[in-house]
Amino acid sequence: MEQVKKEKNELWEWSKALLIAFGLAAIIRFFLFTPIVVDGESMMPTLKNGDRMVVNKIGYMIGGPDRYDIVVFHAPEQKNYIKRVIGLPGDHVEFKNDQLFINGKELPEPYLEQYKSEITEGTLTGDFTLEDITQENKIPEGYIFVMGDNRLYSKDSRHIGLVAIDEVIGNTNFVFWPMDDIGFVK
């Protein structure tokens, strides 16, 4: 009789432990961090098709995105996109001769240096201004301008327009699979 009671108690303890574990996993997944798989080549050479990453969902609950953050957001096609933040609210964005200008000031894009050096013909990023794309002089509050690192083959703000900050799921900078690529990306 005591043996049966002991087994029931042990079963109850295991059940509670599993419920707590699944509950914590659900909370972490839905509110704090979530995995995502890179789909396509729009972020090459920084990210490759099939890379698995961790998305930090809590970072933007505390503060907003920073320039050059890699963000995941809900795109118009009911998909999630991974792109890099180029322009922030209040910014004027312009590309001229493969060079980024924010509010008239030339800014470096160190994550593209190697890629640019490998281009033998033409430029990585074609010339444009924010007005050409959005008819806006500055990025309005609540929006960001995003681009893929593979500028020649990226569907980004040049095509889909500005991204509402409300549509941003979070930022990501850690690849956890494949094993050869584990680590932080810039």
- Looking from the CA of 33 toward its CB, the CA atoms found within 13 Å total 10
Q: Let me know if 42 is a catalytic residue.
A: yes
Q: Which of 5, 15, 42, 155 is catalytic?
A: 42
Distance from C-alpha of 161 to C-alpha of 8, rounded to nearest angstrom: 60
| Six token digits for residue 163 | 């991204």
The CA distances from residue 168 to 47, 81, 83, 96, 137, in Å, are 19, 9, 11, 28, 23
User: Could you give the CA distance from residue 23 to residue 36 in angstroms, rounded to a whole number?
Assistant: 20
Distance CA 142, CA 120 (A): 38
Instruction: For the chain, give the number of residues.
Output: 186
Q: Which one from 57, 83, 154, 157 is the annotated catalytic residue?
A: 83
Largest CA distance in the chain: 84
Question: What is the enclosing helix (H) or strand (E) of 115?
Answer: helix 113-118
**Catalytic residue positions, numbered:** 42, 83
